[in-house]
Structure 1
Amino acid sequence: MSDRKPKLPTPAELDLWRTVMRDATPLAGRRRSAPKPKPVPVPAPSSAPPAAAAPVSPPTRPGTVAAEKLAELLRGMPVREKVRVDVNLAPSPLGRVAGVDKRTDDKLRRGRLGIDGRIDLHGLTQSEAHDTLLGFIRRSHAAGRRNVLVITGKGQMPRGEGVLRLSVPRWLREGDVGRLVLSIHQAQPQHGGGGAYYVLLRRRREG
């Protein structure tokens, strides 16, 4: 065995070698095969279901936002039991005037004040009812009556509002008779309800 180290080619020899081998053709069967590409790892399929696409809301038209908020507010309000409400639409000056204490007026309105006299205007024309009513009020005041009941009836007009029912409170506030009347209230059901009125008269002055 020789201890001599192999002689390394010089740079000039390497350049010469590259020039010669540039035009060389490799022998058949000795061509190196191109390296195979490394396989790309495929991620394992996930067991979780695919996420559902978020729903797309339709465009909101102007004005619908406020309507939706109002509807939501109404849905949250408690629903109360329906009750019958009677509304008096007659343009008549009912109630009390100065000079009547609240306690007396409250008793009159509740039908708890004794009735001293009554008149029924059923079947009369407006003119007849007007004269009959005013005469009755004057006589009642002269006789010292305090609470009188005037019956008008509900009539046959729409909503049950008769002509006399609308006119009587106005007549009782006019002229000299108006100075005799202190308070007017719709009667309680036992005294005629919507077809009658309580009328409180001033006290007659003695002497």
Structure 2
Amino acid sequence: MRRRRIKPDELDLWDQVARTTTRLVPPKRSVIADVPRANKPKAMKPEARSIAPFTLGGGSAGREMRDVMPSVPDRLRTAPVKMDAKSYKVMQRGKLKPEGRIDLHGMTVAEAHPALISFILSSHGAGKRLVLVITGKGGRREDIGAIAPQRMGTLKRQVPHWLTMAPVSSAVLQVTESHLRHGGGGAYYVYLRRAR
């Protein structure tokens, strides 16, 4: 098959289009390009040099700011239900009575962690299914000299994490925030697996 020849009016049209475009990728450097040119480079247009002023703490326009990590209640709410769905709904409504409880409120992390592990393992060994872990909601503390905001409620954030780690992870089936009648956001329901 023979190629057809390009007509002069088609070449003129192509030249007009080519003059109105800008190159997306800069041309590759060659040895010839390193030779100094006699012509001066073209000055940039004033509007190309102007940059929007930067403001500290300013987000990008039209975008919503999001926390890097979702809150503990959000993570627990979106976690898959591993226990019986009917029992889960009854538990969420506060209708199931916890068979045991531990109050970690006011303890340090070093005191609370071993106390929680001991409580969960002994409750599982005793055949209990639903226990209540009270952490407290975490008070608000304002440090005048603080540079960065500090999250409060260390136990509230740490307890769900501890319950997914050995040695108690094999005993725990479901963790969720408790109903208001059992402490609401300051306590967790821990649904244990059947003891074998």
TM range (shorter): 0.5 to 0.7
Distance across 2 between alignment mates of 1:104 and 1:203 = 14
Aligned-CA RMSD value? 2.4
Range 121-130 or range 89-98, more displaced: 89-98
- Secondary structure at 2:128's aligned position in 1? coil
Distance across 1 between alignment mates of 2:99 and 2:111 = 23
1:204 equivalent in alignment to 2:186? no
Range 98-107 or range 171-180, more displaced: 98-107
1:164 equivalent in alignment to 2:146? no
Tell me the CA shift for residue 97 of structure 1: 5.7
Distance across 2 between alignment mates of 1:166 and 1:115 = 21
Distance across 2 between alignment mates of 1:133 and 1:200 = 14
Ranges in structure 2 where 5+ consecutive residues have no aligned partner: 1-69, 142-149
1:89 corresponds in structure 2 to 71
1:153 corresponds in structure 2 to 136
Deviations 1:35-88 (A, max 9, x none): xxxxxxxxxxxxxxxxxxxxxxxxxxxxxxxxxxxxxxxxxxxxxxxxxxxxx8
Say whether the 8 Å CA contact 2:99–2:130 is kept in structure 1: yes
1:108 corresponds in structure 2 to 91
Say whether the 8 Å CA contact 2:81–2:174 is kept in structure 1: no
Tell me the CA shift for residue 157 of structure 1: 3.9
Distance across 1 between alignment mates of 2:118 and 2:106 = 17
- Secondary structure at 1:166's aligned position in 2? helix
Tell me the CA shift for residue 142 of structure 1: 0.3
Cα–Cα, structure 1 residues 144 and 97, in superposed 2: closer, same or farther, change >3 Å?
farther
- Secondary structure at 1:176's aligned position in 2? coil
- Secondary structure at 2:72's aligned position in 1? coil
Deviations 1:106-142 (A, max 9, x none): 2222211121000000221101100000100000000
1:139 corresponds in structure 2 to 122
- Secondary structure at 1:112's aligned position in 2? coil
Tell me the CA shift for residue 91 of structure 1: 7.5
State the one-letter code of the partner of 1:124. Answer: M
Distance across 1 between alignment mates of 2:195 and 2:111 = 26
Distance across 1 between alignment mates of 2:82 and 2:187 = 23
1:175 equivalent in alignment to 2:166? yes
Cα–Cα, structure 1 residues 98 and 154, in superposed 2: closer, same or farther, change >3 Å?
closer
- TM-score, with length taken from structure 1: 0.52
1:120 equivalent in alignment to 2:111? no
State the one-letter code of the partner of 1:182. Answer: L
Count of aligned residue pairs for this structure pair: 118
- TM-score, with length taken from structure 2: 0.54
Task: Please say which structure displays the higher CA radius of gyration.
Answer: 1
Tell me the CA shift for residue 94 of structure 1: 2.3
Tell me the CA shift for residue 90 of structure 1: 2.3
Ranges in structure 1 where 5+ consecutive residues have no aligned partner: 1-87
Distance across 2 between alignment mates of 1:189 and 1:99 = 22
Tell me the CA shift for residue 176 of structure 1: 2.2
